[in-house]
Structure 1
Amino acid sequence: MLEQILTMGFFTAFFSAMVRMAVPLIYAGLGEMFAEKAGILNIGMEGVMLSGAFCSFAGAMFSGSLMIGLLCGILGGIAVGMIHAVLSIKLAQNQSVSGIAINMFVLGVTSFFSRILKEGKSYQQLTTFSTIKIPGLRSIPLIGDALFNQDIFTYFLYVLIIVMTVFYAKTAKGLAFQAVGEHPRAADAAGIPVHKYQYIAMLVNGILGGIGGAYLVLVQLGVFTENMISGRGYIALAAVILGRYTPVGTFGAALIFGGANALQIRLQAVGVPLPAQALAMLPYIITLIALLGSIGRSNEPESLSKPYIRGSR
């Protein structure tokens, strides 16, 4: 069995699966990071992704177009994200309670409508986005297939991470968003419209979270199932913390979690004599270990999850 694991084929397949498993986590993690940089904690990322997954499936099924499905997924993510935005910003409610309530609400709504959608119909499998091979680069040993034989969502991520890194490090707008999350009162005094920036951050949160959910349907599975996010929204939150609130760090942390998921699948495939339940626990165990290892090293914004009420002390 060890001979099956220590092979080029095993590691090539493992790295490819790691990237595929990490992509929805990276999208959700970057969306959550954008919101948290502006001071909004969205524990409801699970609900954002689930809404994106359901809406993308419904949109693609009724229209027959994957691009319309993607647009519907984005709109579904935005809708849930903006519910949290109104509760957190306009109504200044507890952001943790709001996020948990949204997760429960979206789970119930999507389960209800998915049953209506499928009632009396045979199992429907959507076609999915195809991979795009980049000649030359995909031939690199071990990582070529993982990085350069992927779908358009994955390639867009590479660009997105670079853009977000430059945005926060080099632009005045990026610094303004960070100021809103660190010291909203000072930012307001400097003429930065705090609530406007927070709404924009939640819009981006909904867009990226919706894409993360849509990816599961339109690229990986081709079908929607109840509660198909299965904790990925919470793992995305952990990726932001472990990645120390940076785009590159969040990307790396999501790869760790994606790798844990891919590893348990590959080990099952080669017949490792461990209970399937024990292997399925692996990604969550690594998540807990990673979070324990980040204790005392958090770079979270100073005013994270604290509603800003203008004029209050």
Structure 2
Amino acid sequence: MSTTTTTTVPASSPAPSPERPTTAARPPIRWRGPVVYGFFGLASLLFFAILPSGGATTTFRLATAKDFFQIEPITVSSTGAALFLSILALMLAGLAAWAAVERRKVGMWLPIVFGVLVVLAFLCWAGADKSAIPLTGLLQGSLFLAVPLVFGALSGVLCERSGIINIAIEGQLLAGAFLAAVVASLTHSAYAGLVAAPIAGALVGLLLVIFSVRYWVNQLIVGVVLNVLVVGVTSYLYSTVLTADSATWNSRTPLPVIEIPLLSQIPVLGPVLFRQTVLVYIMYVVVVVLQIMLFRSRWGLRVRAVGEHPKAADTVGIKVNRTRVRNTLLGGAIAGLGGAFFTVAAGLAFGKEMTGGKGFIALAAMILGRWNPVGALAAALLFGFSDNLQTVLGIVGTPIPSQIMLMTPYVVTIFAVAGLVGRVRPPAAEGIPYEK
């Protein structure tokens, strides 16, 4: 005989109910963004609108001689326009604070619009009773100066997405600039120099990957050493070979500016986007292709898997070290192509250490862009704008001392990375060697 035991639930016992979210489970309020926006909004209001004396005017010039139609210059009250723009910026700061309290995301449009408002307020103050500020030329030059930063940042994205830290971007840019100048001088063809530049960058990438993948040397140390090596080699060859016969080895061979028919004549956008050298058009293609390939293709999925969890990638048959080698070589070639900007694209002869730390700013653009090609492009454009701003305002005759203006790109880099990036997470396996 079997006995069945039955457990009776008391009637007073409450029925199980799903857990309700509590206040403690809500994500914390992030005040970094609102604080940064509020600080710069108040600074804009104080320094560009309240402290300056009224009555001055600022003129902005939008049109160029080749546009379909001419846009008349726009003249505004310096303090009035700066006051209006600063108040709008503070309203956006308030919106960011409200979104933080409500734990809502506001999207990328808010920092972009906020930055535009503050920059325009600054331009209203800096150009008060000075020559007209060429807005179209300012944007056109900003895009052009952002080219090496974009290529350098894309190189970092490719390498670090596969797990290799590429500190050698500065050396790859310098090597690309050197070989582009030499080949262009010898062949009297800027396009030949443009083709040679990626080879130099890939050679530096080859050294990086040999020591990082084959011998497991610390990748940060290897990158720094390679930068010093390239600076030393190019400086020695410049002093001994290039200066001895500059007409043969180091002549100016610029790339021509290519105007896209019809598109280049659109006011404002035409000169900025479609009146550039071939290197800028190559940059458009590379950004689009890498964005699609990294996030919409099987190859990109494998690359990201290698950078995040190489052991899991290896278990499904992905060759981890082979992927890292290929990506590092490709990244080096892209950085070398960006190095051609300093010589053949800019129409300059090679000079010692002419990259001027742009490789490290490209690294900052990569981090600010969160290891994303489009994000890296946006960050590089920000830094390119700050670089070109000092030149344009120097021509206009701004009251800011020239020494302060020379600091602008680097100060913007520090504030952008420290104030806007926040907490970012690089690929999990970045800098960690993998043993088969």
TM-score by length of 1: 0.94
Q: 1:8 & 1:297 partners in 2: Cα distance?
A: 38
Alignment map for 1:160-199 (pairs within 5 Å): 160-199=286-325
How far is 1:42 from its partner? 0.7
Partner of residue 137, structure 1: 263
Structure 1 residues 119 and 13 mapped into 2: Cα distance closer, same or farther (>3 Å)? closer
Q: Tell me the equivalent position of 2:415.
A: 289
Q: Is 1:13 aligned to residue 67 of structure 2?
A: no
The structure-2 alpha-carbon separation of the partners of 1:203 and 1:168, relative to structure 1 and needing over 3 Å to count, comes to same
Distance 1:299 1:162 in 2: 23
Q: Which letter does structure 1 place at the counterpart of 2:354?
A: M
CA distance in 1, matches of 2:347, 2:141: 14
2:403 equivalent in structure 1: 277
1:66 corresponds, among 190, 211, 217, to 190
Distance 2:400 2:178 in 1: 34
**For 2:417 and 2:324, how far apart are their aligned partners in 1?**
26
Distance 1:304 1:32 in 2: 11
Q: Separation in 2 of the partners of 1:92 and 1:4?
A: 58
Query: How far does the alpha carbon of each residue in 1:56-91 deviate from its partner, in whole angstroms, 9 at most, with x for none?
Result: 111111222223222321111111111011111111
Q: Which residue is equivalent to 1:211?
A: 337
Tell me the SS of whatever aligns to 1:302. coil
1:267-308 CA-partner distances (Å, limit 9, x unpaired): 111111222221011000010111112444314111111122
Give how far 1:157 is off. 1.6
CA distance in 2, matches of 1:262, 1:198: 35
> How do 1:87-106 residues align onto structure 2 when only pairs under 5 Å count?
87-106=211-230
Structure 2 SS opposite 1:218: coil
**Residues 1:122 and 1:103: Cα distance change in structure 2 (over 3 Å):** closer
Deviation at 1:3, TM superposition (A): 5.0
* Deviation, structure 1 residue 161: 1.5
> Aligned in 2, Cα 1:129/1:4: closer, same or farther, shift over 3 Å?
farther
Local SS of the residue matching 2:344: helix
Cα distance in 1 between the residues matched to 2:59 and 2:142: 15
> Match of 2:311, as an amino acid?
R
SS of equivalent to 1:220: coil
Q: Which residue identity is paired with 1:272?
A: T
User: Pick from 220, 224, 240: which aligns with 2:350?
Assistant: 224
Structure in which a larger fraction of residues adopt helix: 1
* Residues in 1 aligned to 2:239 and 2:285: alpha-carbon distance in whole angstroms: 37
Counterpart CA distance in 1 for 2:231 and 2:366 is 23
Q: Which runs of 5 or more structure 2 residues have no equivalent in the other structure?
A: 1-55, 64-133
Return the alpha-carbon distance in structure 1 between the equivalents of residues 189 and 137 of structure 2.
Answer: 30
Q: Which amino acid aligns with 2:193?
A: G
Deviates more, 1:279-288 or 1:124-133: 124-133
Residues in 1 aligned to 2:192 and 2:138: alpha-carbon distance in whole angstroms: 32
TM-score by length of 2: 0.68
- Alignment length (residue pairs): 309
Higher Rg: 2
CA-to-aligned-CA distance 1:70-127 (integer Å, 9 cap, x gap): 2321111111111011111111111111111111111011000011123433575422
Give the conservation status (yes or no) of the 8 Å contact 1:92–1:309: no
Is 1:117 aligned to 2:171, yes or no? Answer: no
Please report the RMSD computed on the Cα atoms of aligned residues, expressed in angstroms: 1.6
C-alpha distance in structure 2 between counterparts of 1:252 and 1:23, whole Å: 11
Which of 81, 93, 104 aligns to 2:205? It is 81
1:235 Cα offset (Å): 0.6
The yes-or-no answer on 1:157 pairing with 2:283 is yes
Q: Is structure 2 residue 80 aligned with structure 1 residue 26? A: no
Distance 1:309 1:44 in 2: 23
Q: Secondary structure at the match of 1:6?
A: strand
Q: 1:195 to 1:125 in 2, by over 3 A?
A: same
Distance 1:122 1:167, change over 3 A: closer
Higher relative contact order (CA 8 A, sep 6+): 1
Q: CA deviation at 1:222?
A: 2.5
